[in-house]
Structure 1
Amino acid sequence: MASLDHPQLSGLGRNPAVPPDLLVRLAAHKAGRHGMSLRRGRLEDAVVEALLTHGDDMTAVRLHGDRISPAMRRRIAEHPDPAIRDAYGDFVRDMVDRGVTIGIDDLEEAYGRPRTELAAAPDARLRAAVARAWYGRPLSVQVGLLADPDPQVRAAATEQKKPGVPPEWRDRCLADPAVRVNVARYTPLTLDQFAQLMRSQEREVFQAVAGNPYLSAEMVARLLDVEDPLVRVTVAQSRHVDDETRDRLYALVEAEQADGSIEADVALNWNFAEPEWLYEAPLNERMTYLDCRYTIFRRVLASCHDLPAEAWHRLDNDPELAVRRAAARRPGTPSDVLERLVRSDGDVLHIRPLLVDHPNFPRHTLRTFVDEPSPNVRYLALQDPELPVTALQQLASAAEPFLRRGVARHPNITDALLEQLLSDPDPQVADDAAANSALRPTRMHRILTAAGL
């Protein structure tokens, strides 16, 4: 995050090209220290010493592990100020006390003990933290966590599908209020276990059971009368439901949505469950969903890679953008389909790889996106690392700050454009310009001198 008052300094702190002697000077300013906290890789000892001199306990929190040398780790461990000496450990322990998930390596470093010992620590909050963080724990450790006397530990141990619950522990877990909902989501159920869960009459239990991928047709049939929108939508996605029943369930939820039900709206539009069974279904069965009126089925179908050509033609022209984007991620997507989709609707920047990174995407067309009317599409021109300066100048004058930020980060930026963007009224643009490794050392010096550093 950029410093609102001193974005050039926070940006310099992130800049990988800033030499150590300038980082030492930068450490004297709060904004510079903030930017340096976001740097990747190991910090030079002299830089760490400067951070310890000018910073506080929050600065010291980020000085740990491979980020600093063994010598500086010893320096911090022996620091005369306990706030500095214990900063990282205190931070991790605070996260543990708050129930915030933190990496297992961080737990081992902060507590100075191996994960096998931490899993049996006297503090239940620490045992719960280990259960949330140690994904690959062996079954023997998992069994110990399932038998833990503290309900928060047992709950943490069952949040994820793996390592799971051994068959001999399922009855016990399904009867345990602390873990019942978690386990009901993913554990294969016998008919008796299913009936036991249904007798609970708890809404969360019903919702968890409805999403269980191992339900039999008989179990699904017994869920049809549960008057809960999320259960109805989830059951409608089951492989054991025929078209008529699916239509009826969706119609009931859509009617509730029309009457103003927030629960129904969430079930229809904010429910991330999907019919995962469809991925593994035989091709002839999957093809029957090509014309399904419910987008989620067509999107899952479009995520398969073994469909015939006629199916791809239909999916590439699907009325729903989510379906078209899913289809475009297949290995053999034609270049013209990719270009047309991106030029029309842009890309999804938080999903990697981008569509413009697809091997078949005609990357020579990226620079032509500069003249598209949509700013989201114009932004994609910046994915061309050799974008001409004239195009960068055009985007640098855009009204949208995110476009100017993209120019500020571009590897082909000129000194003149960097100078322009360093003074941009949006602090995030100025921060990104200062963080660009193309910034010349002479300009770095001038920024520090202007700040009195």
Structure 2
Amino acid sequence: MPAAESSVGSEPVIDATEEDALLVDKTQRPGNHETTRARVRGLSRNPALPDTLVPRILEHPAADLVDVIHRREWSDELFDAVAAHSDVRVREMLAQAGGVSVEQRTRMVDDASFGVAMALLEGPFTTRPQPLPVWAYRKLAERPDVKRMLRLLHPNELSRAAVAALADVEDEEIASWARLTSGGQPEPMTVERLRTIAAGDSVWEKANIALEPALPEDVVASLSAHPEPRVRTYVSMRPELTEQQRTAIGSEVSENDRLPRLAWVLEAEGEQLQACVSSAHPGLRRSAACNKRLSAEQIATLAADDDFPVRLLLCENQDAVSTDLVVRTYLEARVITRGQLLSHAAIVGADLTRYADSPHWGARALVVLDRRAPAELIERLSRDEHPGVRNWVAGDKRLSQDRLLELFEAPETTEAAAANPNLPVELMAAILEAPIDADGPPEDKVLVLGHTMPTHEPIPEL
């Protein structure tokens, strides 16, 4: 992941008055401790970090252990060394690292740590995790500490392979726990139960029953006039309502509101699906964006929707969207999953060089994702006026050695350059040898803490 996209690690240290602080840390000064810390953070995610330096960086106070462990492939020799690390946090992360093979992960079954055992049962953090052998899951479940914990867990909290392996063990307590249906449908509510909830005080429960198919008409009418906007909004998304009835209910939906995906809209087709696509209700259009039966015309309609969540969901669920839409949506998005858009079919393999002269710096930065972009263009972008572009480019292996070293010496790009796989190994070693102060941030800096962000921020033209 390019430096500008990294979301792992501690809060950045920035000038309190820095307008662009959330994009680039401009407090780093050559030769100071913060520069060393930045370089170590960059080195943590460098895919070319030699095995010989991994034990050293794992002990470094400025290293990002998550990046070190989750961003590399593991030789057997290095894996065995780290699997014996004294810090249980390191071993727990190793047990769930995507680059660790099944055979290697199996060698951790006898680890004395309860945390490591649970990490193995949860499985690796990958999109397509490879399961352990059945015997390994069963051996882990035989541990007294694990067995006690299983009673407190829902089966969904462990990998499907682990739960399946425990469903027919001799220990009936564990077997019955594993046989719990984690993905089954709940029992349908009775009319009596629905009326009781509708007459109660819980706004949350009323909103949750508002979409129940068995909800009586008089209760629908009552909830349609409820003073809480959340309740009215949920009622207004019922399938039997006309467009006029939805409008009359007076729902309130902002772009930052999270709404349920409506099962009836996901299954809609023909005229019903078209009605959802053209509905004035954003809740219907958001669910329609996830429908796999959308035509090219309907996709085009939703791509021009004024509601940002509609466009985001469209990009997340439809392959047949334009590259421009995905790029714009990515640049506008402030949601935690925005990085997943960079793996979209409209981005992978697309010609991104056309954004090299975009007025938006974020679009120019995305050129590095185009593997066919010529080295000359990458070199030019490494001198871009915006530090965000220079940061993305600083980690690109198409850079010339001389330019890479220049970016490494520049405070604004030194961290990203330290992640470049072409960084000389002797320089990697020098980073780990540089003195560093273990104290907190400089006195003239402030710590930017997490805060609630909007779903998106509109951008000018690409």
Matched, 1:437 2:421: yes
- Measured against aligned partners, the alpha-carbon deviations of 1:305-357 in whole angstroms (never above 9, x if no partner) come to 54556545544444445445655664555xxxx25545766555726454863
Whole-Å Cα distance in 2 between the matches of residues 308 and 213 of structure 1? 28
Q: What is residue 133 of structure 1 aligned with on the other side?
A: 157
Q: What is residue 68 of structure 2 aligned with on the other side?
A: 36
Higher mean alpha-carbon deviation, 399-408 vs 111-120, is at 111-120
Q: Tell me: CA distance 1:236–1:356, structure 2 relative to 1, closer, same or farther (3 Å).
A: same
Higher helix share: 1
- Measured against aligned partners, the alpha-carbon deviations of 1:60-112 in whole angstroms (never above 9, x if no partner) come to 544547859989998996xxxxxxx75x425778x9xxxxxx95359x99x98
- 3-state SS of 2:356 partner: helix
Whole-Å Cα distance in 2 between the matches of residues 444 and 120 of structure 1? 42
> Which structure ranks higher in relative contact order (CA pairs < 8 Å, sequence separation ≥ 6)?
2
- 3-state SS of 1:300 partner: helix
Q: What is residue 6 of structure 1 aligned with on the other side?
A: 37
Q: What is residue 47 of structure 2 aligned with on the other side?
A: 16
- Gapped regions of structure 2 (runs ≥ 5): 1-7, 11-33, 125-131, 437-462
1:210–1:234 Cα contact (<8 Å) kept: yes
Structure having the higher Rg: 1
Whole-Å Cα distance in 2 between the matches of residues 380 and 250 of structure 1? 41
- 3-state SS of 2:52 partner: helix
Q: What is residue 163 of structure 1 aligned with on the other side?
A: 184
Map 1:45-84; keep pairs closer than 5 Å: 45=77, 49=81, 56-64=87-95, 67=100
Q: What is residue 360 of structure 2 aligned with on the other side?
A: 374
Whole-Å Cα distance in 2 between the matches of residues 346 and 71 of structure 1? 36
The residue type equivalent to 1:248 in the other structure is A
Deviation at 1:394, TM superposition (A): 4.0
Aligned-pair identity (%): 20
Deviation at 1:411, TM superposition (A): 3.6
Q: Tell me: CA distance 1:317–1:224, structure 2 relative to 1, closer, same or farther (3 Å).
A: closer
Q: What is residue 224 of structure 1 aligned with on the other side?
A: 224
Deviation at 1:243, TM superposition (A): 2.6
Matched, 1:413 2:424: no
Matched, 1:385 2:416: no
Q: What is residue 244 of structure 1 aligned with on the other side?
A: 244
2:353–2:373 Cα contact (<8 Å) kept: yes
The residue type equivalent to 1:288 in the other structure is A
1:12–1:434 Cα contact (<8 Å) kept: yes
Deviation at 1:370, TM superposition (A): 1.6
Aligned partner of 1:89 among 114, 134, 139: 114
Matched, 1:404 2:436: no
Whole-Å Cα distance in 1 between the matches of residues 391 and 194 of structure 2? 54
Deviation at 1:295, TM superposition (A): 2.8
Q: TM-score, normalised by structure 1?
A: 0.64
- 3-state SS of 1:288 partner: helix
Matched, 1:104 2:119: no
- Measured against aligned partners, the alpha-carbon deviations of 1:274-295 in whole angstroms (never above 9, x if no partner) come to 4331221231122223432223
Q: Tell me: CA distance 1:421–1:394, structure 2 relative to 1, closer, same or farther (3 Å).
A: same
Whole-Å Cα distance in 1 between the matches of residues 385 and 398 of structure 2? 21
Whole-Å Cα distance in 2 between the matches of residues 72 and 327 of structure 1? 37
Aligned partner of 1:298 among 250, 266, 285: 285
Q: How many residues get paired? A: 378
Whole-Å Cα distance in 2 between the matches of residues 91 and 362 of structure 1? 39
Deviation at 1:193, TM superposition (A): 3.1
Higher mean alpha-carbon deviation, 395-404 vs 238-247, is at 395-404
Map 1:269-284; keep pairs closer than 5 Å: 269-284=256-271
Higher mean alpha-carbon deviation, 399-408 vs 65-74, is at 65-74
The residue type equivalent to 1:240 in the other structure is E
Whole-Å Cα distance in 2 between the matches of residues 250 and 271 of structure 1? 18
2:79–2:104 Cα contact (<8 Å) kept: no
Deviation at 1:369, TM superposition (A): 0.6
Whole-Å Cα distance in 1 between the matches of residues 109 and 269 of structure 2? 60
Q: TM-score, normalised by structure 2?
A: 0.63
Q: Tell me: CA distance 1:250–1:393, structure 2 relative to 1, closer, same or farther (3 Å).
A: farther
Map 1:249-288; keep pairs closer than 5 Å: 249-250=249-250, 253=252, 269-288=256-275
Matched, 1:358 2:389: no
Map 1:308-347; keep pairs closer than 5 Å: 310-324=297-311, 330-333=318-321, 338-341=322-325
1:28–1:51 Cα contact (<8 Å) kept: no
2:121–2:137 Cα contact (<8 Å) kept: no
Whole-Å Cα distance in 2 between the matches of residues 399 and 371 of structure 1? 12
- 3-state SS of 1:381 partner: helix
1:342–1:355 Cα contact (<8 Å) kept: no
